[in-house]
Each structure stands twice: as C-alpha cells, then as structure tokens.
Amino acid sequence: MRYRTNTLLGGLLFATLVGVIATGCGGSKKASTSTTAGTTTTSGLASAPGSTGMNKKIAAEVPAKVKSKGTLTVATDATYAPNEFIASNGKTVTGWDPELGQTLGKVMGLKWKFVNATFDTIIPGLQSGKYDVGMSSFTDTKAREKVVDFVTYFTAGTSFYVKAQGGPTISSLADLCGHSVGVERGTTQASDATAQSAKCRKAGKAGVGVHVYPDQNAANLALESGRQQVGMADSPVAAYIVKQSAGKFKLTGKSYNNAPYGIAFPKGDGMTTPVLAALKELISNGTYKKILTKWGVQGGAITNPAVNAAVS
C-alpha cells in the first residue's frame, strides 16, 4: 500500500543487503545491488508462465498517441521486493510487478520499459509527462485518484515487523504509542504512523517517533541497526523482508487495511480501458495467477479488476 520494503536476493547476507533494499506502498528475490533512482533499466524478464501474445481487439483500444510510441516508460521504485527490485546484475528491474506489466504490454502490442525512480516522484512524473505508467505497489486511494487514474490488480494490507530478539509486540496502530517507526517517504505507512502519533498524544500517551526515509532500504537499515524499533510495509513485502532476514526480523500482529493496488496513468489519457481489458484476459486465461504464484504472492490475487476503485 505503498506501503513498501526490502530488496534481499537469495544468497546474500541480510545485513549486507538491507542497505540496498528499499510503498506506500512496497521487498525481493536473488541478491541485488542498488541503482540510483532515475536510472533507466529495462527488466529483462523471461516469458511469463502461460503468457499470451497480442490481442488485436484489445490493441485496437490503445489510444493512437500512445500506440505511436510503441514503448511506454513505466516508473517503479525498485526497492520493494518481491514486487519490484534490482536484480543481481545491479541494473535490471525485476519482480512480479514488472513481469505482470510486461505481459500486459504484450497483450496490447506495446513494450513496457521499466525505469527505477524514487517513489514519491512517480505521480508528479506522470503528471508532467515524464512517465507513461506508474507501477510500483501503489495503493489506489481517493486522494491519488484526483491526479491519476488507476486500474486495480492486487490487494494488500500493511504489516508490522520488528527485531526477532527484543522487538516490541505491535498488534495494531494503537500499539505504536511510545515507539519509534521507520517508514518510506510518500507511503501510506508514513501517513498512518503520523496520524497515530497525534491520536496517542490526544489520549495522553507518548507519541510515535516517526522517522521518514527516502526509500525502504534506508528504513530497513534503521531497524536493523537499532535506530528504530518498528518497520511497516505492505503485507507481501513485509513477509518477504522477514523471510530473507535470516531470523533477524519477525512479523508482529496482523496486517490491517487491505486495499487495492493500482497501475497509475496520467489522468484521462485513455489507457485504463485497454489495460483493464488486458488484465481481465490474463486473469481469465490463468496467466495472472501463474505469475503471482511464481513469486509467492498469490494470496493477494483479485478476480474483478476495476478503474479507480479506491476504498478510502
């Protein structure tokens, strides 16, 4: 719910990778090396399991001005494994978001070129025309719908994680009172923790020490080093961070506020219609579920994607 996380890839030590892994929505799979946000890196993914080719009917729905480009620039903050992260070669954007996005592109007869960008710059980049698409574990919210359009494609909540040894027990936002939290800038987790701090103080309790970091990697490093007590990220990302931490982190409490992820587009650019149709085809033919299962996130699969379907 970007809502984000860590980019730890198999084989590397968590302590080394935690500083390389970074919403609002966002975790990872094989050892990865960070790249500077803004660096253009195409995700050279193998063909998705069961992927389909171009659907001429759906391709015909792509607006002419978009079709003429042939290749769309898709911004993602590649610090949120397993959703989106940098592969072990240090430059390739990978994860199930890029894999699904590229497969959607094939259905529409378009190439989706993923580029790494800082999370809170993506929506402004869509508004300015710098990017054609934003696919970065964005939670579809009513506030964001005022400036971009979304096609929903997944559902996730926020989960808490702490050090496995000596970490506080956090069962809900209310338990954050008096604790320090490391969150990524521009995420709903940052907003939630800040709002909870005000509630704590209003109730006569100690506030939440909310520490905002430029990316999820930095937030995870703060938790690893003991500078913060609690981490917050989207549920699939938090689960992956814990899984890859070699026992250093653990989940605590239950996830809250399940909400839809959305692929973001410039307001009114006409792309929601063909993308929604392409996604429905991938759901219908089983490709969508196969991609999610490959990355271990099938628990967030949806059956009824929609345009601008924010719940809050």
Question: pLDDT-based confidence at 28, cuts 50/70/90?
Answer: very low
> pTM to 2 decimals?
0.76
The chain-wide mean pLDDT, for the chain, equals 86
pLDDT in tens, 173-184: 999 999 999 999
Q: How far apart are CA 207 and CA 197, in angstroms?
A: 5
- Cβ(265)–Cβ(153) under 8 Å? no
pLDDT in tens, 188-225: 899 999 999 999 999 999 999 999 998 888 999 999 99
- Looking only at the bridges linking them, the beta strands covering 133-134 and 71-76 are parallel
* Rounded mean pLDDT, 49-70: 89
Architecture label for domain 14-300: 3-Layer(aba) Sandwich (3.40)
**Domain spans of the chain?**
14-300
CA angle 46, 47, 50 (to 5 degrees): 145
pLDDT at 51 over 60: no
- How many CA atoms, within 13 angstroms, populate the side-chain half-sphere of residue 238? 32
Q: How far apart are CA 246 and CA 106, in angstroms?
A: 37
Phi, psi of 18 (to 5 degrees): -55, -30
Write a three-state SS string for the chain.
CECCCCCCCECCCHHHHCCCCCCECCCCCECCCCCCCCCECCCCCCCCCCCCCCCHHHHCCCCHHHHCCCEEEEEECCEECCCEEECCCCCCEECHHHHHHHHHHHHHCCEEEEEECCHHHHHHHHHHCCCCEECCCCECCHHHHCCEEEEEEEEEEEEEEEECCCCCCCCCHHHHCCCEEEEECCCHHHHHHHHHHHHHHHCCCCCCEEEEECCHHHHHHHHHCCCCCEEEEEHHHHHHHHHHCCCCEEEEEEEEEEEEEEEEEECCCCCHHHHHHHHHHHHHCCHHHHHHHHCCCHHHCCCCCCECCCCC
pLDDT at 26 over 50: no
pLDDT in tens, 131-182: 999 999 999 999 999 999 999 999 999 999 999 999 999 999 999 999 999 9
Q: Which of 32-46, 245-259, 267-281 has the highest mean pLDDT?
A: 267-281
Q: What is the pLDDT of residue 216?
A: 83
Q: What is the pLDDT of residue 54?
A: 95
Share of the chain above pLDDT 70, in %: 83
